[in-house]
Amino acid sequence: RKEVEQDPGPFNVPEGATVAFNCTYSNSASQSFFWYRQDCRKEPKLLMSVYSSGNEDGRFTAQLNRASQYISLLIRDSKLSDSATYLCVVIDYNQGGKLIFGQGTELSVKP
Amino acid sequence: NAGVTQTPKFQVLKTGQSMTLQCAQDMNHNSMYWYRQDPGMGLRLIYYSASEGTTDKGEVPNGYNVSRLNKREFSLRLESAAPSQTSVYFCASSEDRGTEAFFGQGTRLTVV
């Protein structure tokens, strides 16, 4: 089983839709969590950190469920510019603080 | 502020050739990483360096070597390139282990 798993998609949604991505992780000792965004043929860029209490940044909401070992990303009122691949990242300090990436979920927002 | 800079951006090698991918960061970060990205595989960690003077293997280290030359620079060397090493390589850095990472623009390597 992969350490971090995501539904690869693609998710095809119309503009204005709400879309949610989930990510599961296998190591219960994982201690930090992030969502990254990657545009086609570009480098990944940090979208937001994920805190235990959940956090929101504009149209984006991230949540963490430690008991079930998953994190989620909710995008409201999707824009064409949200089209990208969204990467779930988990850090386990017991493994030297390495960043472990999921394979990414592709989102395509259509007019 | 350049952030993380990788060179070269593109490279074509013949099987058996060697080359070094260069990476430098100007954010005074302690930790640096090398990843490769292949279709359907996500980013896989090759090597990382938690601090100057230390390096550790990641998920896919075979066929690669690294050098943490100083705090700014972390190079990745392919001693004898193989077609299986055709990939996009990303260097990244973070302030400390366990904090968010910032990525370079990537090196697209093709081994023929």
Instruction: Using an 8 Å CB-CB cutoff, list chain B residues near A49.
Output: 100
* A25-65 confidence digits (pLDDT tens): 988 777 789 999 999 889 999 999 998 888 999 999 999 99
Taking the Cβ of residue B32 and every Cβ of chain A, the question of whether any pair is shorter than 8 Å is answered with: no
d(CA A60, CA B51): 33
User: Per-residue pLDDT averaged across B46-61, rounded?
Assistant: 92
CA distances from B51 to A23, A87, A96, B1, B68 (A): 29, 25, 11, 22, 8
Q: Is A101 on the interface with B (CB under 8 A)?
A: yes
**For B2-19, how does the pLDDT look when each residue is reduced to its tens digit (9 = 90+)?**
799 999 999 999 999 999
B84 exposure class (CB count in 10 Å sphere: 0-12, 13-18, 19+): exposed
Say what the pLDDT of residue B41 is: 78
Nearest residue, CB atoms, B42 vs list A34, A49, A103: A103
Query: According to the model, what pLDDT value does residue A49 have?
Result: 92
